[in-house]
Every structure is written in structure tokens, then in C-alpha cells.
Amino acid sequence: MYSEKVMEHFSNPRNVGEIENASGVGTVGNAKCGDIMRIYLDINNGGIIQDVKFKTFGCGAAVATSSMATELVKGKNVKEALQVTNKAVMEALDGLPAVKVHCSLLAEEAIHAALWDYATKNNIVIEGLDKPKSDISEGEAEEIY
Ligand code: FES
């Protein structure tokens, strides 16, 4: 039911860890499944994400999507990182089972939360970035679980 890429990123996740004095840190959770993801971004003066790390306390799909999401934002500028949506992460992983789609939302929202933290600390506005939720299950339809 999982693609080979999902299994590979789950077994061998990239960019696991923390960044000390990160430019931005984002933590989001999903109260329904109890999973939590934290993303650390190291952004240089030119607005390029030069390093990214994550910690995920969650299911295998959450680990695989965090791993792929960090790979996709690394080396990108802040605006390009916003285009790393959960859909883009799922496509890069050759798909996720329908019941696991919400896990990829955790990755997207954690990146947004880290970018929001970076923007707030630096007093800048990132066009197209809305204030992230700390619990992504808020306002979600019951039936997807
Ligand atoms: Fe919660 Fe996957 S089951 S993130």
C-alpha cells in the first residue's frame, strides 16, 4: 500500500535533527492522531534555505513526508519553499494511501510555521504565507479519518 519511495524515506529519513539558532522553527500537530512535527530552517541573508532539519513524533507517513519535504525545500528561496505543498510532497513520494493524505499536510504546515517564525523574527512579510495553525485537525472534516 506504500510506494517504494515512501518506504525508503521512512527507513532512511533525510535531514533528521535540529539546527541550533535556526532562522525559523515551526511546530505543528494533529490533535486527532496525536502526531507532532518540528521543522528547523537555516536561511541566509539572501533568503535561501541553506539547511533544514526535522523531528517528527508520528506515523511512518509523517516521517516519510517530512523527509521528502525537507529535501524539496533545501536550496530554495523562501518564495519557492511556499510552493512545496503537500501535493508536491506526495507526488515526489509517488503517492500516499488516501487515509494517509493528512500526514502530508503536517509537513506542509510545519514548513509554513517555520517560515512564519523566520518572517516574524525578521519583521518581513512573505507574500502568500498565512499564519499557520498549530493544530492542523482544526476545522477539518471528520470523515477523512
Ligand atoms: Fe498522524 Fe500520520 S497518522 S500524521
For the segment 77-116, what is each residue's pLDDT rounded down to a tens digit? Answer: 999 999 999 999 999 999 999 999 999 999 999 999 999 9
| Within-domain flag for 141 | no
| Within-domain flag for 8 | yes
| Within-domain flag for 72 | yes
| Within-domain flag for 139 | no
pLDDT at 131: 87
| Within-domain flag for 92 | yes
Q: Which of the following is catalytic: 64, 89, 96, 103?
A: 103
pLDDT at 76: 97
* Residue 143: pLDDT band with limits 50, 70, 90: very low
Distance CA 11, CA 2 (A): 12
Q: Which domain holds residue 17?
A: 4-122
| Within-domain flag for 102 | yes
Q: Whose CA is nearest to atom 2 of ligand 1?
A: 103
Q: Is 103 a catalytic residue?
A: yes
| Within-domain flag for 115 | yes
Average pLDDT, the chain: 93
For the residues of 80-135, what is the DSSP string, one character each? HHHT--HHHHHHHTT---GGGHHHHHHHHHHHHHHHHHHHHHHT---TTPPPPPSB
| Within-domain flag for 142 | no
How many domains does the chain divide into?
1
For position 18, which CATH number holds? Answer: 3.90.1010.10
Pocket residue to mutate for ligand 1, from 9, 10, 33, most atoms within 8 A of Cβ: 33
Closest-lying ligand 1 atom to the alpha carbon of residue 33: 1
Rounded to the nearest whole angstrom, what is the distance from the C-alpha of residue 99 to the centroid of ligand 1? 9
pLDDT at 98: 93
